[in-house]
Each structure stands twice: as C-alpha cells, then as structure tokens.
Amino acid sequence: MKINVFPPKNMMLHAYLLFFIITNTQVGVGIFTFQRIVYEASMRDAWISVIIAGVVTHLIMWLIVRTLQKYKTADLFGIHYDLYGKWIGMVFNLVYIVYYFLVTFAVMRNYASVVQAWIFPDIPTWVLFILISCLAFYAAMGGIRVIAGICLFSFIATVLTLILFHSSIQHAIWTQLLPVFDSSAWDIMNGAVRMGFSLAGFEIITVVYPFILNKNRVMLHSQLAVLFSNVLYLFIMVISIGYFAPDQLLRSLWPSLNMLKIVEYPYLERLEFIVISVWMLVILSGILLNTWLITRGCKRMWKLNPKPILIAVFFIILLMSFVFHKRLEVKDFMIRLEGSSIFFSFIYPALLCCIVFIVFAWRKKKQRKGGEHT
C-alpha cells in the first residue's frame, strides 16, 4: 500500500467543502439527546462543559491537520502503514474500520428509535434499516463528490431547523443559568467528557485530506467547521437549561424535540414530525461518510471493489438490528461506544501527532548523520 494518495482531478474537492463534511459528522441524531447526558453530570453548568469540550476539539483538530501536513498527501491508512509497518499498520486500520462500522450502526439505530417513539411506534426496526440502507447505498455509489453535495444540503437543513427554536427562546427563564460554577470542577469536566461523544467525528478529515485540492486552506475551513458545531451545541444547551425545569430536563429523553412541540403555526401542527423526517437527510450524510471511510480503507489495503463491501456492511448492520432490539441492550451498546469515541476522536489523534513528530525528527537526525558520514 502506498503512503501518499494522488486521486484523479475529477475526484478532488475544494477545501471549503470540508466545512460541510465535518459539521455533518458532528451534528447527527445525538443533537436530540445530548443536553440530558451532559446535564446529568454538570447540571446548570452544562453549558460550560460544552465550551470546554469545544476548545479541546479545536486543539485536537489543529493537531490532526499538523499531522497531515507532515506528509505530502497521505491519509490515515497510509500514515499507519508508514509508522507501524505493513502488518501492525493493517491491524490499526482494521480497528478504525470496525469502529466506524459500529458508529454507522449506532446512528441508524438511534434514528430508528426516534422514528418509532415519535412517528411510527408500530413499525419494525428492520424495515427502517432496509429503507435507510437502500437510500444510503444508492447515494454512496456516487463517490465522495456526491457525498459532499449531500452534506451541503444537510447543512442547510440544520440551519433551517435552528430557526424553529425561536419559541423556546421566548419561554426560557434565563435566571436558571445562575449561579455560574455551581457544580464542582470534576462534574464540569465529566460533562465535557460526555459532550465529546456528540462532537466526535471530525477526525474524518484524516481520510478526506488527500482529496482536497487546495490543502493550504484545510486548517481554516476545518476550524470553522468545528466552531460552527460548537456554537450550535452551545446555543441549544443554553436554551434547554433556560427552557426546562431542572428535573424536567433530566427526565426528558429527547429535549430538542420536546422544545419543538410548542412551535405552532395556523397551517401546520406537530412540527416535530417534519423535523424528524427532514433530519433523515442529516443522518444520511453521516452514514455516507462513515461507510465511505470503510470502503476507502478496504480499497486502500486490499484493493477491493466498494460495491460488495457496501452490500456486506449494510447486510451485517441489518442482522445487528435483530440482536440489539431491546432498549437496555441499545443503551449498553451506546455507553460502550461513547467511551470508544473519546479515544478514537480525541486521545489517539493527539498520540498519533506526537508519534509522527518524533518519528520525523528521528528520521531527519538519521539523515543528517548519514550525510556527515558520506
């Protein structure tokens, strides 16, 4: 496997599209539930936890881009091959592929739970999985450029959804945000760690990077993408704390959807039904990016055709829907995946950056010594 990747010109993307790609990996179905998860840890200081998690995300993104800039045009799979060798590098690549496979299943399972709870309570999970899989398979066959276009439309859907929170702002009691720092530093940091699961996914840039045409703009647009996601989550968290009573927020399974229930128009009722349906476009972009990464990894390591890989991925996910069908099983699976996402999105990229800089410094020193001997 070659370390550097040189995609054909017709597959290249402009750097500004990274903004839409990264935001769509961070904003998914988790935006309906993250308030309760973070609030359980840091209570009314949950908004501070969101800020802390956002700052850390900016730092990790900076480290990731600096790591990629050390290479000419390599992706994560090539970097693993360069650092660890063929066999160990393959193991690391396989671990990442399995992780993104599990993330894809989690996204589909969570969205199916929302649809069953709010719109179609009697529809079987496997039916939803088949419908989503067929749509995702059709779109994924278009390649990274088609996926980037879908991410653009998903971003527009996200922005339009934000406008609907105006009624919640009007009914919010802002004094519920006070006093500041009412929770302990440990609780605030615990909330920031829990927030990390919602912000995860930005590390997708490590695979998309070779497809970027103007790589000198990667840092700017990737940081802007992370900034948008941080502001979005902070905005919704602040509104949620002001809108819900403390005990009510802890009991709410989907706080974002509950806030949309009060939005009424003379010609439109049950707006949350429409939001859930439109949000299908948002979670579709995340599914496409994850499955594209899986097929990309298989193609890089074994030169496999993406089409049978996609069929196998969605078929296995469909089988998993029969295994994880009880609420407690899904909850236990999500808790374990939450811990894994912190490692794959935050801890490992920082470690990888350190390893890359150490290896490059050692190689440079070795070349300098070799030049002196000659």
pLDDT in tens, 5-57: 889 888 899 999 999 999 999 988 788 889 999 999 999 999 999 999 999 99
Per-residue pLDDT at 54: 96
Mean residue pLDDT across the chain: 90
Asked if residue 325 has pLDDT above 80, the reply is no
Say what the pLDDT of residue 373 is: 59
pTM of the model: 0.94
CA distance 289 to 342: 19
Minimal CA–CA distance to 28: which of 156, 201, 183? 201
Neighbours of 231 (CB within 10 A): 12
CA distances from 262 to 168, 232, 251, 271, 333 (A): 8, 20, 18, 9, 32
Confidence at residue 371, expressed as pLDDT on a 0 to 100 scale? 64
CA distance readout (Å), 354 to 80, 196, 291, 325? 13, 21, 28, 41
Domains of the chain: 9-368 (1.20.1740.10)
In sequence order, what E strands does 39-184 have?
Answer: none
Q: Residue 349: which residues within 8 A CB-CB, separation 6 or more?
A: 60, 63, 64, 67, 203, 206
CB 57 within 8 A of CB 244: no
Identify the band that residue 132 occupies on the pLDDT scale cut at 50, 70 and 90. very high
Residue 119 pLDDT level (bands cut at 50, 70, 90): confident
- Per the structure block, which two tokens stand in for 249? 């927020």
- For 54-85, the DSSP string reads HHHHHHHHHHHHHHHHTSSSB-HHHHHHHHH-
The number of CA neighbours under 13 Å toward the Cβ of 142 is 13
Confidence label for 323 from pLDDT (cuts 50, 70 and 90) = confident
- The closest of 48, 82, 36 to 363, measured between CA atoms, is 82
DSSP 31: G
What SS3 class is residue 115? helix
Tell me how crowded residue 341 is: count the other CB atoms within 10 A of its CB: 21
Q: CB-hemisphere CA count at 13 Å for 29? A: 23
What is residue 60's predicted lDDT score, i.e. its pLDDT? Answer: 96
Mutual orientation of helices 76-84 and 348-373 as an angle, nearest 10°? 50
Tell me the average pLDDT across 318-336: 81
Residue 374 pLDDT greater than 60, yes or no: no
What are the tens digits of pLDDT across the range 170-193?
Answer: 888 898 888 899 899 999 999 999
pLDDT in tens, 253-283: 889 888 888 777 777 777 778 888 888 888 9
Res 372: pLDDT: 61
Helix (H) or strand (E) holding 277: helix 271-302
| CA angle in degrees (0–180, nearest 5) for 94-149-256 | 80
Contact 291, 104 (CB under 8 A): yes
pLDDT exceeds cutoff 60 at 217: yes
State in Å, rounded, how far the first CA of the chain is from the last one: 31
